[in-house]
Amino acid sequence: MANERTDLTAGPARSKPASGKWRYRAYSIAIAVVIVLIWELAPAFGLIHEIILPRFSDTAWALWTLVNQDFFLRHFTVTVREILSGFVLGTLIGFVLGIALAVWPVVKKVTYPFVVAFQSIPKIVFAPLFIAWFGFGETSKVVMAIVISFFPVLINTMVGLESVPQDARTLMRSLRATPLQIFWKVSLPHALPIISAGVKAALTFAVIGAIVGEFVGASVGLGFLLELYNQQLRIDRVYAVIFVLAAIGAFGYFILEWLDRKVIFWRDDNNS
């Protein structure tokens, strides 16, 4: 009887999160529909000039036309390559520096002020320098993406490793664990959820870095197309390129979110 009561009460408890998830998705879809309707009707009724905000249908047609152009794949591929290269390298650099600052207090005391000072500089001021140093090719854009994206990984790695409970470390020392064993078995698993948040932020920053680099100097890439269409007042094409960039960022973010749930399976909010 106890097992029967447990099964009867377990069913509705499991269904609540699922029903809530679908309800929130319905809300999101409803909001999206409202935004599209306003976007379509506001220019149609003259509330917003179409040079500022073209109709949604015109933007959708511009997007369809753009992605079917022969040149689009080349520009798309270059920008995605810059984003991924900057994101991966920036994440690795931020992760390694974050570990160094968290594990060795002397390193943090000596270098952290310089890291903060560097981060406080608006990164766009480096774009002309990177063009002068690395040329107009992809390298300057990758470096810009690295410079913008590494900091959130660094900070989250450092904070995550420093937030490990002292009792857990003391317990591992009482079991005669080496510092490396404590790091791999306690510190890193505890910090991974926080590090993951920094990695997801780094991806969005890498997109910004690559596009900023293409704005300053490029002859290929989505940032180049964005600047070109803006100069030509092809605002519908401008919004179309923005849609593509948003899709790249969102797709990458949700991939990382999926990996987060699969890899960091022990986190408390995994089922929320």
Whole-model pTM: value is 0.81
Q: Taking a C-beta distance cutoff of 8 angstroms, is the pair 198, 155 a contact?
A: yes
> Where in the chain are the domains?
1-53, 56-263
Q: CATH homologous superfamily of domain 56-263?
A: MetI-like (1.10.3720.10)
The residue type at 37: L
pLDDT for residue 49: 82
Region of 28 on the Ramachandran plot (φ > 0 left; ψ -120 to 50 alpha; else beta):
alpha
pLDDT for residue 87: 95
The residue type at 134: F
Euclidean distance between CA atoms 244 and 178, whole angstroms: 49
Residue 88, burial from CB neighbour count under 10 angstroms (0-12, 13-18, 19+): middle
pLDDT for residue 268: 60
Euclidean distance between CA atoms 170 and 104, whole angstroms: 18
pLDDT at 182 over 70: yes
pLDDT digits (tens, 9 = 90+) for 87-139: 999 999 999 999 998 888 888 888 888 888 888 888 888 888 888 888 888 88
pLDDT for residue 9: 46
pLDDT for residue 1: 45
pLDDT at 16 over 70: no
- Non-local CB neighbours of 163 within 8 Å, separated by 6+ positions: 190, 191, 194
DSSP state of 104: -
Q: Is 217 helix (H, G, I), strand (E, B) or coil?
A: coil
Round the CA-based radius of gyration of the chain to a whole number and report it. Answer: 24
pLDDT digits (tens, 9 = 90+) for 221-264: 999 999 999 888 888 999 999 999 999 999 999 999 999 888 88
pLDDT digits (tens, 9 = 90+) for 137-155: 888 899 999 999 999 999 9
Segments in the chain forming alpha helices (H): 2-44, 56-67, 72-103, 105-119, 127-134, 138-162, 166-174, 179-182, 188-216, 222-231, 235-263
pLDDT for residue 80: 94
